[in-house]
Structure 1
């Protein structure tokens, strides 16, 4: 009888241990999603003085006219409440990042932050909200936070109620980006005097859950498939990059290949990760600068600092407008700030410090992520001497027609060189992003790269 009781007790303890291993937050905590919290885990209420409103569901899919797949500006008639300049920046310092303050010092006569009324426009489809709740209940960090357990059944917003810095970062990495997507975008790296050459890119991203059964069957550790072709200028045209983005990149590093049009060969490209050079970037960004941060978090220790109210780029519909030319946007030192829009929003603040014995050109990354979308808004990058080096701003807007948050542009300013890189611009593209379709897995294999590059 005593032995039987011991076996029963042991079985109960084992069951509890297994339950804890597969469980995320408690059902009571997860129940806050969509009630006291937004479905993605943000505070539903506004702030004390009403300058940040309550979240009431975000923009509807018909918030403004859509022309040639470009969404219109629901706030076109609004004017700035005030503008922050180098002359008055100290007055607003508590709600600005160190990088923004540094930009005022670097470009005192031209850099400005026009602040508009805050609108909480974020909205995703209901099935994505359901997936976030499933993630909250089930997803666990693996390999010290470098990967995810019990995530592939939900696939979005790994930790909508985060408990650590790396969990906040994972929400940016696993946020909803829409259905399978094709787009034509550009990148530019202006010289100090503002002159620039446009690099035209054709991008395609596909998610296993929106692909045929063979891709889904092989998707155990795959977050998405990504292919990028340079289409101009002619000296770069035909080069193609292919990535299989893995969920746990320590267990299985990102798989990457490149087709070099000059050599007419496909080769593995492990350098397309971490601080490897970004595509056609003139040395002005690393591979993991794309999307403000992408890839494995494993080279950093991530500290959760907390939440705060900040002026961040938001609802940048004007900057995304097809009525603009790239020459309207690209100016000496930084993009044309007269075309930008900033709003007061709550952000999650995290800091990544390179682990001892690990190498990366950025010794520290200080990041601010929008609470409503989990999309990175601002990132300050520090070199090995502790000097603020590069400042990233993600010029966000809500694509209400497709239920996603995205960027009108991603800008990375080099405070030392006095130059910058900007990518993800689509203003002069033939049309906006195309969502949908069910590409085959064969389209995202190394064998498919060569034919892509010589089309």
Structure 2
């Protein structure tokens, strides 16, 4: 069964029949983008390495599996790399210019246990060649709606703004559901684990299906009536028993101004046998199963949801230590007990590297009141993925810290998150996507994930999957 693409004329008018603002990059700027031999990579990153050689040149990233790889066991292509040095509470001030406010806070909050092992920098980001070509081709034609939070004429399967002209464009780039290459299908089982301040934890076992038709290599162009601008998610809880059968259907439109809203959410409760619209699952509404430690707009790499309630600032690119190439955490011989500690995951399992990062600062607009007055996203120059986030409370005090443990799924190739950690500096944290102990199938991407299409993501199917 081939993927089907659905669209409506009203949505098309929203995406195409609207004015845009922010000047497009010049032909001279676009000419700097290229797969090889140009100053900038297809994603707009500086191709050259750093002056001191600590950050190497981007030479194409990982595009083929290393020797010994047999799916689903991802071999660490950098297993022979040695730790260069370790940052601890005793020496972190020496490296403060390369640390986020969140990491500094982690050292100060957990001085006895938190540390960062620094490894050689490996610029592993890669994507299929057609993604590079599409990104470069549309670099000057994808624009931003005058409202400031909608991409216009984005074809999918590419990075919206490899040469961002303002902070809103940069912010959209770190949203892989709308403005980055996310892959077109994902079938994933995972554990959502809430760790209490005393170290005890509760785990919810979840099965999710994702579909992003516009990221498929055969997706029609954005001016086609068959172009599908939606990102679909079906989520079904399987354990513990009291939550089994509960589910969520989530459909996010490329445009935040789409008819009925940019996000549509339904929930199913098997005890009531009822499907309900869940419009409250937006912005800073508590994310299910997080005991209030995670909000809806922190989900999925920390960039979930509508972004219109903040003003944005794109700060100058800087070198920072960020989690990267975390293949050690992909070892399926690990158990959740080995990973999850009292205050944070085991730092000896995490790999940090020095990369060039663009901080994007979100400050709440004065007409809104949300629990986060400011958020800082740290965008990797190669992938445009949000590597980590700092979240500030209403009084402007740093409150929560997020990390995205990423790696290149080189058999695709696809740069993606392996797991997410969301720390509350007042105690407790949430870790997602650990599936070591889960009685489930390994994570599958794209054609490997199956042949379901948009017709799978219906309220009727949500109910049938949740019936117990």
TM-score by length of 1: 0.91
- In the TM superposition, residue 222 of structure 1 has moved relative to its aligned partner by 2.8
1:306 aligned to 2:311? Answer: no
- CA distance in 2 between counterparts of 1:219 and 1:276 reads 33
1:420 aligned to 2:429? Answer: yes
- Provide the aligned length of Structure 1 versus Structure 2: 435
**Aligned partner (choices 213, 219, 224) of residue 208 of structure 1:** 213
1:404 aligned to 2:414? Answer: yes
1:60 aligned to 2:70? Answer: no
1:242 aligned to 2:255? Answer: no
Does 363-372 or 428-437 show the bigger shift? 428-437
Measured at CA, do residues 213 and 56 of structure 1 come closer, stay the same or move farther in structure 2, by a change above 3 Å? closer
- CA distance in 2 between counterparts of 1:448 and 1:213 reads 24
Unpaired stretches in structure 1, ≥5 consecutive residues: 1-17
**Aligned partner (choices 374, 381, 385) of residue 371 of structure 1:** 381
Alignment correspondent of 2:12: none
Counting only pairs closer than 5 Å after superposition, residues 193-272 of structure 1 correspond to structure 2 as: 193-209=198-214, 210=216, 222-251=229-258, 252-272=261-281
Q: Which has the larger radius of gyration?
A: 1
- CA distance in 2 between counterparts of 1:254 and 1:182 reads 21
| Structure 1 contact 156–176 (Cα < 8 Å) conserved | yes
- CA distance in 2 between counterparts of 1:348 and 1:155 reads 22
- In the TM superposition, residue 208 of structure 1 has moved relative to its aligned partner by 2.4
Question: SS at the partner of 2:171?
Answer: helix
| Structure 2 contact 20–152 (Cα < 8 Å) conserved | no
Does 240-249 or 105-114 show the bigger shift? 240-249
Alignment correspondent of 2:302: 292
| Structure 2 contact 219–227 (Cα < 8 Å) conserved | no
Alignment correspondent of 1:162: 164
- CA distance in 2 between counterparts of 1:135 and 1:422 reads 36
- In the TM superposition, residue 101 of structure 1 has moved relative to its aligned partner by 0.5
Deviations 1:322-347 (A, max 9, x none): 11100001101111101100000001
| Structure 1 contact 141–149 (Cα < 8 Å) conserved | yes
1:131 aligned to 2:144? Answer: no
Alignment correspondent of 1:46: 49
- CA distance in 2 between counterparts of 1:19 and 1:145 reads 11
| Structure 2 contact 39–47 (Cα < 8 Å) conserved | yes
- CA distance in 1 between counterparts of 2:21 and 2:212 reads 27
1:279 aligned to 2:301? Answer: no
Deviations 1:112-133 (A, max 9, x none): 0000011000110011112211
- CA distance in 1 between counterparts of 2:463 and 2:291 reads 24
Alignment correspondent of 2:192: 187
Alignment correspondent of 2:25: 25
Alignment correspondent of 1:441: 454
Deviations 1:142-161 (A, max 9, x none): 1422111111x345211011
RMSD: 2.2
Unpaired stretches in structure 2, ≥5 consecutive residues: 1-17
| Structure 1 contact 37–44 (Cα < 8 Å) conserved | yes
Measured at CA, do residues 97 and 264 of structure 1 come closer, stay the same or move farther in structure 2, by a change above 3 Å? same
Question: SS at the partner of 1:451?
Answer: helix
Question: SS at the partner of 2:97?
Answer: helix
1:452 aligned to 2:444? Answer: no
- CA distance in 2 between counterparts of 1:106 and 1:188 reads 21
**Aligned partner (choices 147, 161, 165) of residue 150 of structure 2:** 147
- In the TM superposition, residue 211 of structure 1 has moved relative to its aligned partner by 11
- CA distance in 1 between counterparts of 2:256 and 2:20 reads 24
- CA distance in 1 between counterparts of 2:90 and 2:58 reads 33
Alignment correspondent of 2:8: none
